[in-house]
Amino acid sequence: MILRPGLEGVPVAHSSICDIDGDQGLLTYRGYPIADLTSHSSFLETTYLLIWGELPSPQQLKEFEAEVQMHRRMSFRVRDMMKCFPATGHPMDALQASAASLGLFYSRRAIDDPQYVFDAVVRLIAKIPTMVAAFQLIRKGQDPIQPRDDLAYSANFLYMLTEREPDPLAARILDRCLILHAEHSLNASTFSARVTASTLTDPYAVVASAVGTLAGPLHGGANEDVLAMLEEIGSPEKSGAYLDNAISKKQKIMGFGHREYRVKDPRASLLQELAEELFARFGKDEMYDVAKALEKEAAKRLSSKGIYPNVDFYSGLVYRKLGIARDLFTPIFAISRVAGWLAHWKEQLGANRIFRPSQIYTGMQSRKWIPSDERKLAIDI
């Protein structure tokens, strides 16, 4: 038996949702290049594509958008539960608990019923942004803001965060960011979603498990750490020395490297374009020059190893310019990735087999029981 830590390179599922060419830096959703989707589609249209496999007709898209709009509001019971959360808690923990609570309200499990699947998709896509925005205001001592039916998906989310109607460009930039983060094959959180889905539990538990996985700094939490790193560097001319020191100490450089890509992550390139579009309209973030200098210096030192900027490197700069709090970066990642998680949930149901990997046992064998009064001091726990 061969051990492959982290299941690296081990196929565990057939999927037609997403394809990655890490050598060429190509990413497609259902065969559509990510650049085309960010240029021409919307997040809800892309969500429909991911989950149902085809771009919707104008009427199908209109009906889907209307259903999502109708289900944006959350129960007052969920709101009151969130008011009991500690204000110092991380928004990802609040989101995981809130997403899981939906299973109490919609406890019927009819995963072989297409209408149940559709309704679950709509509820999760619609309510997750409301939950993120609600906790942001609740932890500041304010009541949540009700969604506005006249605003599109991303514009409404920004409105619920600020109670101000966002600039159309800001709303469109956020919508494109959501498309970029919506799906990325069997990453850690998506694999978590598929493992949970394989038990045939409800989709709310599936999403809650994925949210918990996404929260880790080696996955979705990295975009928060990138900004902290750029601020620590402080100025463009210090980027080379910072890299040399990090490399010599074998420290991880946040926002660089990806298991799938040996070139620059295509999402990083598109996010950099979005950042520049925002800066041209609303003024540049001084950390952007540090980021560009760091990327340039990293290319000299790390490109031979196939280490380039990943999706997290520029996303934090975009979100900060949109006025979003740093610890909300990963919850926004979750708002987007719900689309991919649900696509994989639906695909898993189509040919389900519960995940049950094996292990290589390395422990002791044939030990004899020792009565408690004869035991020596146990190891500290």
Q: Which of 138, 125, 76 is nearest to 99 (CA)?
A: 125
**Residue 121 · residue 143 · CB < 8 Å:** no
**Residue 121 · residue 106 · CB < 8 Å:** no
Q: One of 175, 225, 285, 312 is an active-site residue; which one?
A: 312
CA–CA distance, 288 with 307 (Å, rounded to integer): 20
Q: One of 258, 265, 285, 344 is an active-site residue; which one?
A: 258
- Residue 181 a catalytic site member: no
What value does the CA radius of gyration of the chain take, rounded to a whole number of Å? 22
Give the SS3 label for residue 352: coil
Buried b (16+ CB within 10 A) or exposed e, 65-91: bebbbebbbbeeebbebbeebeeeebb
CA dihedral over 134, 136, 162, 39, signed as positive or negative: negative
Question: What is the edge-to-edge ordering of all strands in the sheet holding 32-33?
Answer: 18-21, 26-29, 32-33
Residue 65 main-chain phi, psi, to 5 deg: -60, -40
Structure tokens, 229: 């790193």
**Residue 208 · residue 96 · CB < 8 Å:** yes
- Cβ-proximal residues to 88 (8 Å cutoff; 6+ apart), any chain: 139
Q: What share of the chain is helix, strand, coil (3-state, %, to 5)?
A: 60, 5, 40
Helices 203-214 and 329-350: crossing angle in degrees, nearest 10, is 140
Strands (E), the chain: 18-21, 26-29, 32-33
- Residue 258 a catalytic site member: yes
Report how far Cα 57 is from the mean position of its chain's Cα atoms: 27
Residue 288 main-chain phi, psi, to 5 deg: -65, -40
DSSP 376: P
Active site residues: 258, 312
